[in-house]
Amino acid sequence: MANAPDDSTRRDFAAYYEGIKGRPPRPTLVRAVSSFARPGFAVDLGCGDGRDTIELLRRGWRVLAIDSNEEGIGRLRARDDLPEEAALETRVARIEASAWPPADLINASFVLPLLAPADFGRVWKRIGASLVPGGRFSGQLYGPNDGWADRPGLSILDRDAVERLASGFAVELLDEVESDEPTAKGAPKHWHVFHLVLRKP
């Protein structure tokens, strides 16, 4: 299939989905969605098994959920807590190769660092351009002290770079956190994460 991940990536995320099963929505998503007076249209980039998508649907939002891994999308579609009348469209596709309609909210939880540096700037521009005025972005970026910062092919950004990305938005949350916690698959890891909620003026 075009844009499909290779087998090792597929296996990695199968273990990840098992590890995060049943976890609540990300605080960044909850913060962003709670700031809207009424439900709108959201795009969930790298939705995985849908922990954030489900929260949006539960709150009456229409959602386009995109993930390159068909198992993630399959798990989302099979969830017991998927509301019956869910206004959900799913797409198995890479973010770099995707376009989406104008949105009130673009959520990208723990996925943008997985983009290749060569693609990151273009995707970030597309996120900004596709938000309607008053729309919000929520998600995470990784900093240079992150345990995965030396892995090739990841987009790692220092604080200055993150602040540059946030300029032009109203910053509702820019929380830089370093911690030592196991990954979803149980491996020890040092995390250096920027948690973001940004509003387009």
Ligand X SMILES: C[S@@+](CC[C@H](N)C(=O)[O-])C[C@H]1O[C@@H](n2cnc3c(N)ncnc32)[C@H](O)[C@@H]1O
d(CA 49, CA 70): 10
Closest distance of CB 112 from ligand X, Å = 9
Tokens, residue 101: 């309609």
Residue nearest to ligand X (CB): 48
Stretch that binds ligand X, among 61-69, 77-85, 145-153, 168-176 (CB under 6 A): 61-69
Closest distance of CB 188 from ligand X, Å = 17
What SS3 state is found at 154? coil
State yes or no: residue 195 binds ligand X (CB under 6 A).
no
CA torsion through residues 104, 110, 112, 115, sign? negative
State yes or no: residue 138 binds ligand X (CB under 6 A).
no
Instruction: Answer yes or no: are the C-beta atoms of 13 and 72 closer than 8 Å.
Output: yes
State yes or no: residue 124 binds ligand X (CB under 6 A).
no
Stretch that binds ligand X, among 13-21, 32-40, 151-159, 165-173 (CB under 6 A): 13-21
State yes or no: residue 72 binds ligand X (CB under 6 A).
yes
Q: SS3 helix, strand, coil % of the chain, rounded to 5? A: 35, 30, 40
- Residue closer to ligand X by CB (options 6, 85) is 6
- Residue closer to ligand X by CB (options 11, 170) is 11
State yes or no: residue 111 binds ligand X (CB under 6 A).
yes
d(CA 41, CA 119): 25
Q: Exactly one of 41, 61, 100, 110 binds ligand X (CB under 6 A); which one?
A: 110
Task: Give 67's contacts (C-beta < 8 A, 6+ positions apart).
Answer: 46, 47, 48, 73, 76, 90, 91, 92, 93
Stretch that binds ligand X, among 92-100, 125-133, 150-158, 161-169 (CB under 6 A): 92-100
